[in-house]
Amino acid sequence: MERHHPPNFSPSGISSRMSGGYSSQELIFDLSRVDVYLEKQKILHQLNLKIFKGDFVFLTGHTGAGKTTLINFLSGEIHNYSGEIKATVWSPQSTLFISRIFQDLKIFEELSVKDNLMFSFDPSLYASKESFAQENSEYMKVLGLTEYENTKVHKLSGGLKQKVAITRALLSKPDILLADEPTSNLDKISSLQLFELFNYLNVKRKMTIVWATHNLELIKQFHGKLISLEKGKVIYSGNS
């Protein structure tokens, strides 16, 4: 799996509770008065956001609030914007890698779970296929996928498919994980387990995580930074 960075934008043992995570003072996203457009329509309005390396950020808002558009923008997928952006992650010199968990999953239905996950194997990240297999096995065990390793994805439930997509993203060892509603098909217990796994990766591996979700009840059980959107505008930015 070749690692691609977003284009350079022109300037105009898992804990059961979040501990607040790791955060440095290195800014990786710095948006000032940014408007974002899709097909000439303004979707996000006057964004003022700062995300630091090692942050754990919950991105909330009702359906249609603009969460997915913001995730797409932060990933470098959307280029049509106005305002001022300073983001080290988008510079050609950046060594930071972004991985995504998509709402529509983007997994291969006719392939097995194992074959889907092999797309994340990168010899520059893993000393061998054996070391990749070991990390793969650990994630599958945590997420309850072990018994489905050789099952074709189209035979899995929606929740299991979502876990395949999550595992594939994590196996690419991202510095920054952008997760768009990764618990939409998961029950409460599985959702809590995923929060705990992400917390571990944030604290122990210093992974920056931006998690888009509408599940406020679940967020209330954890501590992190919170960005709330309403009709494309940030209505709150602070601690959850």
- Do 35 and 65 sit in the same domain of this protein? yes
Is residue 80 assigned to a domain?
A: yes
Query: Distance (Å, rounded) from C-alpha 153 to C-alpha 203?
Result: 31
pLDDT in tens, 37-75: 999 899 999 999 999 999 999 999 999 999 999 999 999
What are the phi and psi torsion angles at 62 (to 5°)? -70, 165
pLDDT of residue 199: 93
- Do 167 and 178 sit in the same domain of this protein? no
Share the mean pLDDT of the chain. 89
pLDDT at 96 over 60: yes
pLDDT of residue 240: 76
Is residue 190 assigned to a domain?
A: yes
Beta bridge partners of 177: 99, 209
pLDDT of residue 23: 63
pLDDT in tens, 31-43: 999 999 999 899 9
- Do 49 and 87 sit in the same domain of this protein? yes
pLDDT at 166 over 80: yes
- Calculate the CA 143 to chain-centre distance: 16
Q: What is the mean pLDDT of residues 105-122?
A: 97
Query: Distance (Å, rounded) from C-alpha 63 to C-alpha 46?
Result: 19
Q: What is the mean pLDDT of residues 77-96?
A: 89
> Tokens 């940014």 correspond to what residue?
34
Domain that holds residue 86: 23-97+174-240
pLDDT at 12 over 90: no
Q: Classify residue 68 by its DSSP letter.
A: H
- Do 181 and 93 sit in the same domain of this protein? yes
Structure tokens at 97: 């890698």
pLDDT of residue 22: 62
Query: Distance (Å, rounded) from C-alpha 201 to C-alpha 208?
Result: 9
Q: What is the mean pLDDT of residues 162-184?
A: 97
Say what the pTM is: 0.88
pLDDT at 89 over 90: no
Of 187, 194, 177, nearest in space to 157 by CA: 187
- Do 164 and 190 sit in the same domain of this protein? no
Domain stop point among 153, 171, 189: 171
Kindly indicate the confidence band of residue 24, based on its pLDDT and cuts at 50, 70 and 90: low
Domain stop point among 171, 196, 226: 171
* Contacts (Cβ under 8 Å, ≥6 apart) of 15: 196, 199, 200, 203
Is residue 113 assigned to a domain?
A: yes
* Cβ contact 153:107 at 8 Å: yes
How many domains, in total, are found in the chain?
Answer: 2
- Do 70 and 178 sit in the same domain of this protein? yes
pLDDT at 178 over 60: yes
- Do 44 and 87 sit in the same domain of this protein? yes
* Cβ contact 35:42 at 8 Å: yes
Is residue 136 assigned to a domain?
A: yes
Per-residue exposure over 99-113, b if at least 16 CB sit within 10 Å of its own CB, e if not: bbbbbebebeeebbb
